[in-house]
Amino acid sequence: MFLLEAVPIDTIRLNFSEENLVLLNFILAFLMFGIALNLTMDDFRRLWQYPRKAIAGILSQWVVLPLLTYMIVVVLKPEPGIALGIILLGACPGGNMSNYLSSIARGNVALSVTLTAASTVLCVFLTPLNFTFYGSLYGPTRELMQEISVEPWALFESVVIILGVPLVLGMLTARFLPKITGIILKPVRIISLLIFVAFIVGAFLGNYSIFLEVIGVIFFLVFLHNLLGLAAGYGMAALFRMDFKDKKCLSIETGIHNAALGLILIFTFFDGLGGMAIVAGWWGIWDLVSGFALAGWWWWRDKKQLQSMA
């Protein structure tokens, strides 16, 4: 068995109250509403205009990464809670930062927005499907899911409410109230991002001692999972013979995930199970570190190339 089993992490419960869960639900709904304000039907039409790119992006996020996640779990054999947390994060849609990071990286922002639109809709169905499938496929996590009695329909219902409802409201607002949308779009996105980052940092500081106890167990697993996600997106773009801007976009879309959704599902269905919650919490922090580092490196590389050509 792998060293990841050394710490009885599933006996840990994070300091997270019912009030915090309600707040996190509101934050994620607000984030989704802000994203939806910027989505139009043209974003979905581009899926048909550029089918090769759309297929590569969808396969990378919803087929390749969940499969790679399952392979990580099978090979490393972490404790069931940690394994289930990684499987859940691998089944979550791309993070809300992906469009912004693609713009910093000088990737294909239009493609990023299109894939975000597709991912936002598909996750309502594919997040519960991938999670229950791979969670049930691996023996230790299957036993844990049976012990806690996770109902796939209840999971689906929660995702619809958390993501689907604000998505529809945001798109309807953008469609029928364009003047109001123009006024609130930028403030909503900035405020929602700041609130989300503040919440993640606050949750980390509130459980600082617990994170210190288990960070050695979690860090490598989250690092590896994130690295494989970034590489999978880049690799799929290369396989589909896409240009460098598209490769950067798919890498970010596949490697950056919605840790907030993962945390909500963990505290709703798994009572803040230690392994799952700490994986998702650390993922939310590491996402920002790796995403900005990679996007910044690509930005710096492009800048140097432009300077050398001048």
How confident is the model over 86-103, as pLDDT tens digits?
999 999 987 667 878 888
Q: Is 7 a member of any domain?
A: no
pLDDT of 247 over the 50 cut:
yes
Share of the chain above pLDDT 90, in %: 29
Share of the chain above pLDDT 70, in %: 85
Question: Taking a C-beta distance cutoff of 8 angstroms, is the pair 25, 173 a contact?
Answer: no
pLDDT of 309 over the 80 cut:
no
The Cα-based distances of 31 to 39, 155, 187, 237, 266 in angstroms read: 13, 20, 12, 28, 19
Domain range enclosing 213? 16-309
Q: Is 292 a member of any domain?
A: yes
pTM score of the predicted model: 0.82
Helix 178-206 vs helix 259-269: angle between axes, to the nearest 10 degrees? 60
pLDDT of 55 over the 70 cut:
yes
The domain tally of the chain equals 1
- pLDDT value of residue 25: 76
| Least confident span in 17-21, 52-56, 142-146, 300-304 | 17-21
The Cα-based distances of 110 to 19, 39, 205 in angstroms read: 37, 11, 36
Q: Is 64 a member of any domain?
A: yes
Q: Is 10 a member of any domain?
A: no
- pLDDT value of residue 307: 73
- pLDDT value of residue 4: 43
Determine the average pLDDT of the residues in 261-289: 80
Residue 28 and residue 18: Cα distance in Å, rounded?
A: 15
pLDDT tens per residue across span 32-47 = 787 777 777 776 777 7
- Round the average pLDDT of the chain to a whole number and report it: 82
Q: Is 80 a member of any domain?
A: yes
State both tokens at 128: 């519960």
Greater pLDDT, 152 or 225:
225
The CATH number that applies at residue 131 is 1.20.1530.20
Q: Is 149 a member of any domain?
A: yes
Phi/psi of residue 292, nearest 5 degrees: -70, -35
Q: Is 126 a member of any domain?
A: yes
Q: Is 5 a member of any domain?
A: no
Determine the average pLDDT of the residues in 101-124: 85
